[in-house]
Amino acid sequence: MTFDTELVGKIGSMALIDREDSILDYTLIARLSAELRPGYIWVTSGAAEAGRLDYIKRNGKELKGTAEEIKTDYSAQGQAILMATYRQYVDPKYSLRQVLVEHQHFNDEEKREHLRRLLLRAKEQNAIPIINYNDAVSTEEIRRFEIQSLKNSRKKVVECVDNDETAAQIACLVRAETLLILTSTEGIYKDSKDPSTLITEIGGKDVYEVLDNITECEKYCSGASREGANGAKAKLEYIKDAVKQGTKVLIASAKYSIKDILSGKARCTAIGVR
């Protein structure tokens, strides 16, 4: 089986934050950024939280308004911070390219192809794409209306409700060999309160068996790390399309290096055909 991209990686908001000091975890970002290189596509959450922390730092209080307005304003403020931080720590010989996507880029064939070609050109041009959902300009009400309109005319619709889904769809779009999802945990647990119950492999003799085993493991998943997140069960559901095309999926803790996760040295949940 041939692949067009080596790795699509994604890091969640909570994995990027130093909770004790309520700041971005610059040590973690520096370590991960140093491993990024052309051939990798990086999906990053954290814009809204970075913007929130920055706003509080500068104003001594949180924003007031509707939840939609607050998310929009924090996201717009945080995008600049995220990109500046990645740019600071990624090897300076590589270019960085910010790519902000919305559900429409995956549900329109012309836009999908334009995005695919943009991402695949990056490796040839010594560049690393940094992707995030464009929360600053996409309101929930408009998104729901557009998604429902699409559902009325087709069976399968990409919603991009969070960056786990976005990363999985990017992996499908560029035929990634590996999809790496970094979280604040080591992977999927049978008991979320007991780290010793980590499921290290969800495999099978073929794709159909793997998909059945993914569905079986979903019963162990409940809750989410933060308000608005969809949790481990949603992660497992989102990755199914990538698994179908032969992509190997790794769900791991951001405390480990990309190198150690890919080489099997780090504890994680590995998903794919044996």
Architecture of domain 5-271: 3-Layer(aba) Sandwich (3.40)
Please give the pLDDT value at position 228. Answer: 43
Please say if the pLDDT value at position 141 is more than 80: no
Length of the chain: 274
**Buried b vs exposed e over 7-31: b needs ≥16 C-beta within 10 Å?**
bbbbbbbbbbbeeeeeebbeebbeb
Query: Phi then psi for 230, rounded to 5 degrees?
Result: -105, -5
Spans of all domains in the chain: 5-271
Please give the pLDDT value at position 180. Answer: 98
The answer to whether the beta carbons of residues 186 and 195 sit under 8 Å apart is yes
pTM listed for this prediction: 0.91
Query: Mind listing the pLDDT tens digit for each residue in 185-214?
Result: 999 999 989 999 999 999 999 999 999 999
User: What's the pLDDT band for 30 if we cut at 50, 70, 90?
Assistant: very high
Residue 263's closest CA among 7, 41, 4? 7
Please say if the pLDDT value at position 114 is more than 80: yes
Strands (E), the chain: 5-11, 17-18, 23-24, 40-44, 95-101, 127-133, 176-183, 201-202, 248-253, 268-271
| Mean pLDDT estimate for the chain | 91
Residue type, 145: F
Please say if the pLDDT value at position 225 is more than 70: no
Please say if the pLDDT value at position 20 is more than 70: yes
Query: Mind listing the pLDDT tens digit for each residue in 148-164?
Result: 777 777 767 887 778 99
